[in-house]
Amino acid sequence: MDLLLILTYAGLCVVIFKVFRIPLNKWSVPTAILGGVIILGSLLLVMNYNHPYGKYAKEVYVSIPIVPAVRGLVVSVDAMPNAPLNKGDVLFKIDPRPYQLKVEQLSAQTFEAEQSAKQIQAQLELAQARQKQAKADRDRARQSFSRYAKGSRTKGVFSKQEVENRRQLYLAAEASLEAAEADLRRAGFAHESTIDGVNTQVLQLQKQLEAAQYDLERTVVVAPMAGMVTQVALRAGVMAVPMPLRPAMVFIPEQENLFAGSFWQNSLERMKPGFEAELIIDAVPGHVFKGEVVSVLPAMSEGEFQFGGTLVSARQLSTHGRAIAVIKLDADWNRYNLPRGVQGKMAIYSDQFTHVSVMRRILLRMLGWLNYVFPMK
pLDDT of 72 > 80? The answer is: yes
What is the rounded average pLDDT of the residues 293-308? 87
Distance of CA 202 to the CA centre of its chain: 34
Distance of CA 103 to the CA centre of its chain: 28
Residue in 370, 360, 347, 342 with CA at minimum distance from that of residue 291: 347
- Summarised one tens digit per residue, pLDDT across range 32-57 is 777 777 777 777 788 888 999 999 99
**Percent of the chain residues past pLDDT 90, beyond the cut:** 38
Residues 164 and 293: their CA atoms lie apart, in Å, by 105
pLDDT of 159 > 90? The answer is: no
Residues 327 and 259: their CA atoms lie apart, in Å, by 5
Please state the φ and ψ torsions of residue 151, each to the nearest 5 degrees: -65, -35
Helix 2-19 and helix 357-370: axis angle, to 10°?
100
Q: How confident is the model at residue 90 (pLDDT cuts 50, 70, 90)?
A: very high
Using DSSP, state whether 186 is helix, strand or coil.
Answer: helix
Average pLDDT score, the chain: 84
Residues 205 and 110: their CA atoms lie apart, in Å, by 6
pLDDT of 142 > 60? The answer is: yes
- Summarised one tens digit per residue, pLDDT across range 209-256 is 999 999 999 999 999 999 999 999 999 999 999 988 889 999 999 988
